[in-house]
């Protein structure tokens, strides 16, 4: 995957299907003016955005493989993932993850216990059309928590008037027997629009050459996503519904003390698709009212949403949960964007959320709590000759109240009442030096209030194999980041460089307590310190002929805790430097143009050794370097008109390499008594076949 503005992603970002876009004009590749992003100062063209952006296009999503959405996009420059097995992945932007990354789905921020290692992203991934990634503090538009950046999941665009589309698809991955079925139906008749998806996915345990099959790495998922509404010249009014039923196993990584082999629970099997103890079940339901009205030279947008996240852990019986958390969230966002004379654009709005969390099980990690957020912002953009200037300011207020709890005569949680206020903003400029060259600079200030888990947690995280203790004296994190960037795009080469320096006061992190076991688990407590992160991404795509592409990208982050010079000087959970290289050849259409957009690609992902780790009390350890080789091929088989069959065949980890990603939480599971190696390794060789069949129906009227 490459950053934008670059390559063919600009051409298909707004297409309904990859089959619609049959060829790429190289001149259009060099322009890339019309991609619209949400930005940190309101809607704007990507060419004019001063903050570091990138876009994962529909074609890239179609050709990428992964066990979940985050896994599929994590190879994008500047992105990585915290993984717990193959079913659970959490996005990381430039070394920052958890609640520092805001994920926007269906127009509202996704809220679902994202503070935990073993809590994945519960979204209907196959209903995602494209992905927009903002790297850097985005509190100006999104409030508290967007201190690392924002991942916006765009749904499929509304079809053209008089068009209906039925599509079916499927996927199979060999390593863990993953299969997926997708059915979708969308349409637009006289402005009445709809779009529905049903997704069914399951996988058994994955395997690698060192551990064999890994107990607890199975998962199952069933999703329903739908939209119904009207789209007219005055604007739109849409109702969006989503329900995700996600059931992942829990990888404990326990080994036999003599043989070193991973231990299986009674009745569990390596290739079983059914529920096997221990496991989680997460039900995430979402209802969103998305509205926009054209008012004069401006647009008023109003979005209100309700989410219910019900997460349970089953350890002893498949019908009785030990841990159960019910999180209710109401999101609201009101925004007005106005086009003014003299090339001025302004936006103002108010937004926030209300939350209530309830414990409904016998085990506890965090207390019951109530949270209320409110924030107001104003932004402005102006084009002055070859310069695009932008800026804005925002004020946020968060109130958090937790409830006390006694268990067996001892206090488990104390009541807590905390208020946090943040003033954030950004200021940036883009110099359009020429049609091919743009230079960018941006300064942004971000704000993140500590989460309830960081303040009050007291319990075992089964999925990450550790006991966590909160710290009720934590302060809010405050970030200031400076970004410098440039992009240069011609017929033959595309080059980008993006550098950043980020200072975070009161950075919150987990640190292991020396020789402390709680209920038999290693114990960790949240701490704070000032931090500095520096790094960036460099990428280029060399295509001396239109059919051939040689793409490279390098991502690097160095994260230090200031005022420390011992084994604690580096921050924990920072990804290793990474180099991605891809060779791709696009073949000409053949077979009387029935075979189109066929390609063959070879790729390498090289992760450098990560020896900058948080080593206090062996909280983290170094991770050796490793390289993964991949090969893929694809073709669109056109049968009639625009209807086609999209076929993609990919082999990941071609050489069946045994490795452990630095951000894998399974890296710190039990030691193998035979090999002396700690933890569980990642998935081995994996072959994936994807099929997508979109069928367009055009209504002809007299």
Q: What is the spatial distance between Cα 90 and Cα 71, in angstroms, rounded to a whole number?
A: 8
Q: What is the mean pLDDT of the chain?
A: 89
The confidence score (pLDDT) of residue 590 equals 83
State mean pLDDT over 437-449: 95
Model pLDDT for residues 445-502, shown as the tens digit of each residue? 999 999 999 999 998 876 567 899 999 999 999 999 999 999 999 989 999 999 999 9
Q: Is the pLDDT of residue 13 over 50?
A: no
Identify the bridge partners of residue 357 per DSSP, sorted by sequence position.
327, 369
Output the six-digit token pair for 491.
């017929």
Among 116-120, 157-161, 341-345, 481-485, the minimum mean pLDDT is found in 116-120
Q: Average the pLDDT over each of 9-18, 75-84, 232-241, 647-656 and give the range with the smallest value.
A: 9-18
What confidence tens digit (pLDDT) does each residue in 614-644 have? 998 888 999 999 999 999 999 998 876 556 8
Would you tell me how many other CB atoms lie within 10 Å of the CB of residue 410? 7
Contact 348, 307 (CB under 8 A): no
Query: Are the beta carbons of 184 and 698 closer than 8 angstroms?
Result: no
Averaged pLDDT for residues 588-606: 89
Secondary element (H or E) of residue 61: helix 58-63
Judge contact between 532 and 502, C-beta under 8 A: yes
Q: What is the CATH number of domain 9-686+694-698?
A: 2.40.170.20
Band (pLDDT 50/70/90 cuts) for residue 11 is very low
Say which residue, 7 or 142, is predicted with more confidence. 142
CA dihedral 562, 566, 572, 577 (to 10 degrees): 90
What is the predicted pLDDT for the residue at 462? 64
Lowest average pLDDT, out of 457-466, 583-592, 667-676, goes to 457-466
Number of helices (H) and strands (E) in the chain: give both, helices first: 6, 37
Beta bridge partners of 141: none
How many other C-beta atoms can be found within 10 angstroms of the C-beta atom of residue 296?
Answer: 7
Return the half-sphere exposure (C-beta side, CA atoms, 13 A cut-off) of residue 138.
30
State the pLDDT at residue 701.
55
Domain boundaries, the chain: 9-686+694-698
Residue 5, pLDDT above cutoff 60: no
Judged against a pLDDT cut of 70, whether residue 262 lies above it is answered with yes
pLDDT at residue 86 tops 90: no
The confidence band for 14, taking pLDDT boundaries of 50, 70 and 90, is: very low
378-399, pLDDT tens digit by residue? 999 999 999 999 999 999 999 9
| Residue 31, H or E segment | helix 26-31
User: CA 265, CA 686: separation in Å to the nearest integer?
Assistant: 25
Three-state DSSP string of 157-198? CCCCCCEEEEEEEEEEECCCCEEEEEEEEEEEECCEEEEEEE
Each residue of 37-52: pLDDT tens digit?
776 777 777 778 888 8
Sign of CA dihedral 377, 378, 383, 384: negative
Pick the residue with more confidence: 23 or 115? 115
Give per-residue pLDDT as tens, 313-343: 999 999 899 999 999 999 999 999 998 888 8
pTM of the full predicted structure?
Answer: 0.92
Question: With contact defined as beta carbons under 8 Å apart, do 27 and 491 qualify?
Answer: yes
Read off the tokens for 142: 């999104």
At residue 18 the predicted structure's pLDDT band, cuts being 50, 70 and 90, is very low
The tokens 């020396």 sit on which residue?
A: 514
Does residue 26 have a pLDDT over 60? no
Quick: pLDDT tens for 402-422: 999 998 888 999 999 999 999
Relative to beta strand 595-607, strand 578-586 is: antiparallel
Percent share of the chain, pLDDT over 90: 70
Look at residue 3 in the predicted model and tell me its pLDDT.
Answer: 36
Indicate if the pLDDT at residue 648 is higher than 60: yes
Spatial separation of the C-alpha atoms in residues 516 and 522, rounded to whole Å: 6
């Amino acid at each position: 995957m490459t950053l934008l503005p670059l390559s063919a992603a600009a051409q298909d970002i707004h297409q309904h299907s990859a089959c619609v876009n049959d060829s790429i004009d190289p001149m259009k590749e060099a322009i890339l003016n019309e991609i619209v992003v949400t930005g940190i100062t309101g809607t704007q063209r990507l060419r004019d955005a001063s903050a570091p952006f990138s876009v994962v296009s529909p074609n890239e999503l179609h050709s990428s493989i992964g066990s979940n959405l985050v896994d599929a996009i994590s190879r994008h420059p500047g992105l990585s993932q915290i993984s717990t097995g193959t079913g659970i992945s959490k996005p990381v932007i430039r070394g920052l993850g958890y609640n520092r990354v805001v994920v926007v789905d269906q127009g509202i921020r996704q809220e679902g216990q994202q503070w935990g290692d073993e809590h994945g992203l519960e979204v209907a991934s196959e209903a995602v059309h494209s992905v927009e990634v903002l790297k850097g503090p985005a509190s100006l538009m999104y409030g508290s928590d967007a201190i690392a950046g924002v991942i916006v999941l765009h749904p499929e665009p509304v079809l053209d008037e008089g068009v209906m589309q039925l599509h079916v698809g499927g996927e199979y991955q060999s390593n863990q027997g993953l299969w997926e079925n997708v059915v979708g139906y969308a349409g637009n008749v006289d402005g009445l629009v709809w779009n529905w998806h049903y997704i069914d996915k399951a996988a058994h345990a994955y395997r690698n050459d060192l551990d064999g099959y890994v107990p607890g790495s199975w998962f199952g998922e069933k999703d329903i996503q739908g939209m119904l509404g009207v789209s007219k010249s005055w604007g739109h009014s849409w109702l969006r519904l989503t329900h995700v039923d996600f059931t992942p196993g829990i990888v404990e990584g326990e080994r036999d003390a003599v043989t070193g082999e991973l231990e299986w629970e009674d009745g569990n099997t390596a290739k079983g698709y059914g529920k096997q103890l221990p496991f989680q079940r997460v039900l995430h339901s979402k209802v969103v009212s998305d509205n926009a009205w054209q008012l004069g030279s401006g647009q008023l947008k109003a979005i209100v949403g309700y989410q219910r996240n019900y997460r349970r852990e089953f350890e002893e019986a498949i019908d009785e949960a030990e841990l159960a958390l019910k999180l209710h969230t109401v999101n609201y966002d009101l925004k007005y964007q106005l086009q003014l004379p003299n090339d001025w654009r302004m936006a103002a709005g108010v937004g926030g959320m209300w939350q209530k969390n309830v414990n409904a099980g016998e085990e506890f990690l965090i207390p019951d709590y109530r949270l209320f957020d409110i924030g107001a912002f104003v932004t402005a953009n102006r084009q002055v000759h070859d310069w695009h200037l932008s800026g804005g300011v925002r004020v946020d207020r968060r109130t958090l109240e937790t409830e006390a709890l006694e268990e067996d005569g001892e206090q488990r949680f104390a009541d807590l009442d905390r208020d946090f206020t943040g003033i954030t903003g950004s200021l940036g400029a883009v110099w359009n030096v020429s049609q091919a060259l743009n230079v960018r600079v941006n300064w942004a200030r971000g704000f993140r209030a500590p989460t309830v888990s960081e303040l009050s947690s007291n319990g075992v995280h089964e999925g990450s194999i550790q006991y966590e203790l909160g710290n009720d004296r934590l302060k809010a994190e405050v970030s200031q980041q400076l970004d410098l960037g440039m992009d240069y795009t011609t017929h033959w080469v595309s080059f980008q460089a993006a550098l950043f320096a980020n200072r975070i006061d009161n950075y919150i992190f987990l640190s292991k307590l020396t020789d402390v076991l709680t209920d038999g688990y290693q114990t960790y407590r949240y701490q704070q310190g000032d931090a500095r992160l520096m790094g960036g991404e460099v990428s280029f795509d060399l295509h001396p002929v239109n059919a051939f592409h040689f793409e490279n990208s390098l991502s690097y982050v160095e994260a230090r805790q200031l005022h420390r010079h011992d084994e604690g000087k580096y921050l924990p959970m920072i990804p290793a430097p990474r180099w991605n290289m891809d060779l791709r050849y696009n073949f000409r259409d053949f077979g009387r143009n029935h075979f189109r957009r066929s390609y063959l690609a070879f790729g390498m992902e090289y992760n450098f050794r990560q020896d900058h780790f948080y080593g206090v009390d062996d909280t983290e350890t170094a991770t050796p370097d490793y390289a993964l080789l991949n090969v893929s091929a694809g073709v669109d088989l056109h049968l009639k008109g625009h209807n086609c069959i999209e076929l993609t065949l990919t082999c990941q980890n071609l050489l069946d390499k045994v490795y452990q990603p630095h951000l894998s939480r399974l890296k710190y599971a039990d030691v193998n008594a035979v090999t002396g190696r700690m933890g569980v390794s990642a998935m081995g060789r994996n072959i994936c076949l994807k099929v997508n069949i979109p069928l367009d129906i055009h209504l002809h009227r007299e």
